[in-house]
Structure 1
Amino acid sequence: MTLDVLLNSFVVLFVVVDPIGNAPIFAGLTRGLSGAERRVLAVKAIVLSAAILLVFFLGGNGLLSALGIGVPAFRIAGGILLFLVAIDMVFARQSGLRGATASEQEEAQEREDISVFPLAFPLIAGPGAITTVLLMASEGGAWTGQLVRLGIIFAVLLLTLTSLLLTARIMQVLGETGTNVIDRLLGLVLAAIAVQFVVDGIGGAFGV
């Protein structure tokens, strides 16, 4: 397992989870709450997200085998899904792929505890993040490599927690426009990586 593979895994998961882009959404969902209440919700959401992603990472290969899905096929499907996520990021829009829809956010405003929905799912550990984690697990390799990949998952979640805790500061510095600009740039990177996933999957399927 080379350094560029690890870097690729980190970049994809970081872009899909989008810690910076989640800051304005978190600010809107927790408007009117105290700093202490925001911190509790942020920590709970990260713990739940870690549990969700950990389940899919550890059980990913078994799930694919049970469904009779080969790694090349999943890389193609995962690449297509991540490309759709990238399109959402480039056009600075929210969809069910990378976050809560408008109606889901309205429903969340009425909830006392938003740590499970929509924070943990689908904002943090959403379909895109789960797909990325499954792709990471499908790489296989020695147990040391899997431990490193687990470290990548927890590193991204730690950065996400930091972003949520510093939401007020981020919004003060970047604002809505700034976060959208960063999202668009990261979306372009993700689009290129997603296409590479598809290319690799097709190559693997045909033994190229």
Structure 2
Amino acid sequence: MNFDILEIFTAGMILFAVIDIIGSVPIIIDLRKKVGHVQSEKASIVAAILMIAFLYVGESILTLIGIDVNSFAVAGAFILFFLAIEMILGIQLYKDDAPETAAIVPIAFPLIAGAGTMTTILSLKSEFASENIIVAILGNVVVVYMVLKSTKFIERVLGNQGIAVIRKIFGVILLAIAVKLFTTNIQNLL
């Protein structure tokens, strides 16, 4: 085991920015109003399983369908870019039909463990030890669970303005991550 606090912290912060559970609070509040109840435990567990599984088999799946990690990372950089634009500008580029329940879809996937998160996990795998990434994933899942359980409280404390400011801050961080991911991987493709 090669546990490194700095790697865990760095990977955790990157995943926290990509998952953007605080920025997703308005979406979660809206889902709660539409479906009545958000299954926090189920969503958190499924998201953790998806992320850890993708850490180990994601590259093999990509190889099986003929996509290299660099191409996937560049595609993920575009997704992160558009997510960041949504967060910064307060617009919605992707619209989904109203869900009937709120647990696995749309919370666990794609809100928490979406394409941006999966791309980031593969990118982190090339830089950090797997056990450090797993600890970072589990740390983020704990935060996700706590946020899902306390969205009503967060909504009262931060208010709409506070949530909007946090969303924009994480949008800028996510935009920077997208640019770094793109520039690092595009060189390997050309």
Q: How does 1:165-176 map to 2 (within 5 A)?
A: 165-176=149-160
Q: Quick check: 1:78–1:135 contact (8 Å CA) kept in 2?
A: no
Tell me what 1:29 maps to: 31
Q: 1:129 aligns with which of 101, 106, 117?
A: 117
Mapped pair 1:11 → 2:9:
no
Larger Rg: 1
Q: Quick check: 2:46–2:108 contact (8 Å CA) kept in 1?
A: yes
- Quote the offset at 1:42 in angstroms: 0.8
Tell me what 1:117 maps to: 105
Q: Quick check: 1:13–1:153 contact (8 Å CA) kept in 2?
A: yes
Q: Counterpart of 1:177 in structure 2: which amino acid?
A: Q
TM-score (norm 1): 0.77
Query: Within 2, Cα distance between the matches of 1:198 and 1:5?
Result: 21
Q: 1:178 aligns with which of 162, 166, 179?
A: 162
- Quote the offset at 1:3 in angstroms: 6.9
Moved over 6 A (4+): 1-4
Tell me what 2:49 maps to: 51
Structure 1 pair 195–140 and aligned structure 2 pair: CA distance change class (3 A): closer
Q: How does 1:39-78 map to 2 (within 5 A)?
A: 41-78=39-76
Q: Quick check: 1:74–1:201 contact (8 Å CA) kept in 2?
A: no
Q: Quick check: 1:140–1:146 contact (8 Å CA) kept in 2?
A: no
- Partner of 1:160, secondary structure, is helix
More off after superposition, 194-203 vs 146-155: 194-203
Q: Counterpart of 1:67 in structure 2: which amino acid?
A: I
Query: Within 2, Cα distance between the matches of 1:87 and 1:45?
Result: 25
Q: Quick check: 2:69–2:122 contact (8 Å CA) kept in 1?
A: no
Query: Within 2, Cα distance between the matches of 1:153 and 1:133?
Result: 9
- Partner of 1:19, secondary structure, is coil
- Partner of 2:67, secondary structure, is coil
Tell me what 2:79 maps to: 81
- Quote the offset at 1:163 in angstroms: 0.9
Q: Counterpart of 1:165 in structure 2: which amino acid?
A: K
Among all aligned residue pairs of Structure 1 and Structure 2, give the percentage whose two residues are the same amino acid. Answer: 30
Structure 1 pair 93–3 and aligned structure 2 pair: CA distance change class (3 A): farther
- Quote the offset at 1:158 in angstroms: 0.9
Q: Which runs of 5+ in 1 are unaligned?
A: none
Q: Counterpart of 2:31 in structure 1: which amino acid?
A: L
Query: Within 1, Cα distance between the matches of 2:13 and 2:160?
Result: 22
Query: Within 2, Cα distance between the matches of 1:56 and 1:15?
Result: 19
Q: Quick check: 1:22–1:164 contact (8 Å CA) kept in 2?
A: no
Query: Within 2, Cα distance between the matches of 1:150 and 1:196?
Result: 22
Query: Within 1, Cα distance between the matches of 2:93 and 2:13?
Result: 21
Q: 1:190 aligns with which of 174, 177, 181?
A: 174
